[in-house]
A and B are shown apart, each in its own frame.
Chain A
Amino acid sequence: MSERQHVDEPIVTLDCRRQACPRPIIELGRHLGDVEVGEVIAVAADDVAAHHDVPAWARMRGQEFVGEAEADDGVPVYRIRRLS
């Protein structure tokens, strides 16, 4: 699959299924450095709090929340563009 040419496609997707908040956000914090500035990192998380806390994290950390998609198994995948 060569969908990475699309600017919003994640370079890295973290699998945080079945992890309770704040674990998915902690993983985002730990792995943001895995992508370059301008690239997108994603986190797959079924915890309901992630729906609110990923955008809040992006706001607090000065990153860009790109949006929410759905993985094949129906789990939400949240995408963030690294800005700094």
Chain B
Amino acid sequence: MTDSFTYLDAASAEPLHPAAREVLLAAADQGYADPRRLHRPARNAGLLLANAREVVAQALGVRRDEVLFTSSGTAAVQAGLLGLGSRGIAHTAVEHQAVIDAARWSQRSPVTELAVDREARVEVAAVAEAVGEAVGEAVGEGDVDVVAVQQANHEVGTLQPLEEVASAAGPAALFVDACASMGRLPLPGVGDVVAGSARKWGGPGGVGVLVVRRSARWRWPFPGEEWSRTDQGFTNIPGALAAAAALQAVVAEREEINARQHELVALVRERVAAEIPDVDVAGPAEGRLPHLVTFSALYVDGEALVTALDRLGAGVASGSACTSDTREPSRVLAAMGALTHGNVRLSLTRDTTREDVERVLDALPGIVKDLRAEAGL
């Protein structure tokens, strides 16, 4: 990091990638017009947008006409999920709140939660069971016709067994929330619709990507029939182009960066478990996102822990109830049976150094010890 603050919250928002910054500034001057008009500035804007779509398609290994831009990752999730199926939705217990909110809002029935194991991995048998009832009944009269499973968990990093999920889902449509993983990992080989969020890979905020596979039976679920297979409304063209540039760069450098981040996260897992008594490191050591790690310290207030780290000059997230707007503990931690209080999520940016991580690791045991002493333990 160039300043003295160590930002370890890339899973909330990765700082703008250097490759995106120049593009964003240049495109802000060139990409203002409405690409649907028939004048020169419109053609310029249209070229930039076509370029953004082409770059994203190449980076993800899909066709240009399979890529839609949305106004955020949440908007991509909503349009992606709600555009599939018409009957019931089954989603894992550890999906992002955006997926759960969209499923509830849909008023479809039933909305079923798929159980996960202690490492937040969805139980494939639960997928088969959820859609199985549909197969057993008359055609078109089944219960669940959409299954929503994330590519990787946003809080604990667990990769979901998507190939197995797709097999178990049978004829039901598969929605994949890839907001935590897009760019960092190859696009999953399965999924009718896949959603991504640019700010999580170093693109600007307010840009989402929706990949709608050609074979998908998907339609735009909100007002305006014409939006199916084209972006809705007025696309943020500079944002889309900057997001595309960042995605291209992240895909090109991910092999090297993922390896470095994977090793640093392994170091965090190892040292936290060894140096802090009564700590619960959540999620699997392997088969996870490279850049994030979550752990909970017994008897410690999560908000106090985050505040102490901020005072030290380190920015982290927490899934503890006291740090959330709703005062509810993280549903991800709860579903996997992990300790929900005293929770901290560290997520590394592309330029987080070993020194950054070690500085936090050196300070953590003392911070936890002091907070426990304050609590009378």
Q: Does B93 contact A (CB under 8 A)?
A: no
Enumerate chain B residues within 8 angstroms of A53, measured Cβ to Cβ.
329, 339-341
Enumerate chain B residues within 8 angstroms of A77, measured Cβ to Cβ.
none
Q: How far is the CA of A59 from the CA of B296 in the complex (A)?
A: 13
Per-residue CB contact flags for chain B residues 349-377 toward chain A (1 = under 8 Å, else 0) read 00000000000000000000000000111
Q: How far is the CA of A68 from the CA of B52 in the complex (A)?
A: 55
A48 touches B337 (CB 8 A): no
Q: How far is the CA of A51 from the CA of B328 in the complex (A)?
A: 11
B278 touches A60 (CB 8 A): yes
Residue of A nearest to B321 (CB): A49
- B contact residues vs A (CB 8 Å cutoff): 278, 280, 296, 298-301, 320-322, 327-329, 333-334, 337-342, 375-377
A56 touches B328 (CB 8 A): no
B375 touches A56 (CB 8 A): no
Q: Could you tell me the distance in whole angstroms from the C-beta of B369 to the nearest C-beta in chain A? A: 14
Q: How far is the CA of A55 from the CA of B278 in the complex (A)?
A: 14
Q: Does A25 contact B (CB under 8 A)?
A: yes
Q: How far is the CA of A22 from the CA of B334 in the complex (A)?
A: 14
B337 touches A29 (CB 8 A): no
**Could you show 26 A-B contacts with beta carbons less than 8 Å apart?**
A21-B321, A21-B340, A21-B341, A22-B301, A22-B341, A25-B298, A26-B299, A29-B299, A30-B376, A30-B377, A47-B321, A48-B321, A48-B329, A49-B340, A52-B333, A53-B329, A53-B339, A53-B341, A55-B337, A56-B280, A56-B296, A56-B339, A57-B339, A60-B280, A60-B339, A61-B278
A26 touches B340 (CB 8 A): no
Q: How far is the CA of A21 from the CA of B376 in the complex (A)?
A: 15
Residue of A nearest to B339 (CB): A56
Interface size on A, residues (CB 8 A): 19
Enumerate chain A residues within 8 angstroms of B328, measured Cβ to Cβ.
48
Enumerate chain B residues within 8 angstroms of A60, measured Cβ to Cβ.
278, 280, 298, 339
Q: Could you tell me the distance in whole angstroms from the C-beta of B194 to the nearest C-beta in chain A? A: 31
Given A21-B321, A21-B340, A52-B334, 7 more pairs with CB closer than 8 A:
A26-B375, A52-B340, A53-B340, A56-B296, A56-B338, A60-B278, A60-B280
Q: How far is the CA of A49 from the CA of B319 in the complex (A)?
A: 11
- A contact residues vs B (CB 8 Å cutoff): 20-22, 25-26, 29-30, 47-49, 51-53, 55-57, 59-61
B278 touches A25 (CB 8 A): no
Residue of B nearest to A22 (CB): B341
A21 touches B322 (CB 8 A): yes
Enumerate chain A residues within 8 angstroms of B339, measured Cβ to Cβ.
52-53, 56-57, 60
Enumerate chain B residues within 8 angstroms of A20, measured Cβ to Cβ.
321-322
Closest 5 CB pairs of A and B: A22-B341, A56-B339, A49-B329, A52-B334, A21-B341
Q: How far is the CA of A51 from the CA of B280 in the complex (A)?
A: 17
Q: Could you tell me the distance in whole angstroms from the C-beta of B323 to the nearest C-beta in chain A? A: 11
Q: How far is the CA of A20 from the CA of B340 in the complex (A)?
A: 12
Q: How far is the CA of A50 from the CA of B278 in the complex (A)?
A: 17
Residue of B nearest to A24 (CB): B341
A26 touches B377 (CB 8 A): yes
Q: How far is the CA of A40 from the CA of B340 in the complex (A)?
A: 23
Task: Name A25's contact: one of B334, B337, B341 (CB within 8 Å).
Answer: B341
Q: Could you tell me the distance in whole angstroms from the C-beta of B368 to the nearest C-beta in chain A? A: 12
Task: Name A29's contact: one of B296, B298, B329, B333 (CB within 8 Å).
Answer: B298
Q: Could you tell me the distance in whole angstroms from the C-beta of B318 to the nearest C-beta in chain A? A: 12
Residue of A nearest to B375 (CB): A26
